[in-house]
Copies of this chain bind each other. A is one copy, B any other.
Amino acid sequence: MSLNEFQSEWMPRFDDYLYSELDACVPAQENLHKAMAYSLMGGGKRIRPLLVLATLSLADGEITDGFAAAAALEYIHTYSLIHDDLPAMDNDDYRRGRLTLHKVFGESTAILAGDALLTAAFEILAESTAISADKKIKLIGLLAKASGPNGMIAGQMDDVEGEKKALTIEELKQVHEKKTGALIRYAVTAGCLVAEADEPFTTEMEEFSRHLGLAYQIHNDLKDVVLDEAETGKTIHHDAALNKNTYPSLLGVSGAIQELNSVIGQAEGCLDRVALSYSGAEDKIDVFRQLMDYVRI
């Protein structure tokens, strides 16, 4: 099955679930509902939910059993973008070509809608009827750890503090492991947990997710530099890129591309080993292989 086929088959059904959970969580407060919906429907690529569901499929689990974990993850991801865009944080007016939430609904509503999505994520998991209490508790504990003060939020704090100083490449990796890597890893772990995958499979796929997360970040940094160059005609080493802690600024553009290719190679190695070790995996693993195309330069 190709990535396109998997997306066409599952993502519209998942989106229906995502929005129905929104109606269940916020039946009464109209503007809060509107604000949460604005961000949830903001044209995100749903990479994290896709990873949950594709991992479940690869592990021969029931895909709909992962809807709650996938929706909770997308709620957490969405809240983190809303709060990141606030004037006191990155102060971004646009995201994915649309005005950011606080530009449309005001800052107080954006703060509250972010808080609401964060809280609703745990409600969705707790209320799911598809999985056992034991699994739900594990998923909730892991999600809180991945997104909380020792995971994503620690990475965001490191990032805020890191803006004032130069990081080494190892420090930069650690920031990203927490800031973006922890949620990507959670996607894969949640899929394995719901499907009751065995330990070697889970370990290999978590290793894959670490490489994917890192590749995603390097690709993102490179894209900014390359796009900027193409659009503005400035040299690559302009001030903004140099003063920020990014892979191109620390490794140079060709060094960063080399690093990206090396990381993609390691991710593909994980996929090869899974395809070899599990019967039936070869057919389903194309979804993951094609996902890697998103991060190639």
List A residues at the B interface (Cβ < 8 Å): 25-29, 31-33, 36, 79, 83, 86-89, 106-109, 111-112, 114-116, 118-120, 122-123, 125-127, 133-134, 136-138, 140-141, 143-145, 147-150, 153-154, 156-158, 160-161
A141 B126 Cβ-Cβ under 8 A: yes
For the complex, would chain A's binding face be called helix, strand, loop or mixed by DSSP majority? helix
B112 A141 Cβ-Cβ under 8 A: no
B144 A122 Cβ-Cβ under 8 A: yes
CA distance A251 to B237 in the complex (A): 67
B116 A149 Cβ-Cβ under 8 A: yes
> For residue A144, which residue of chain B has the nearest CB?
B123
Can you report 6 residue pairs joining A to B where beta carbons are below 8 Å apart?
Answer: A32-B157, A109-B157, A118-B119, A119-B144, A120-B148, A133-B134
Picked from B32, B89, B119, the residue with its CB within 8 Å of the CB of A111 is B89
Q: How far is the CB of A226 from chain B (nearest CB, A)?
A: 29
Contacts of A127 in B (CB 8 A): 141
Q: How far is the CB of A21 from chain B (nearest CB, A)?
A: 11
Contacts of A158 in B (CB 8 A): 29
The 6 nearest A-B residue pairs measured at CB:
A123-B144, A126-B141, A88-B107, A116-B149, A119-B148, A29-B154
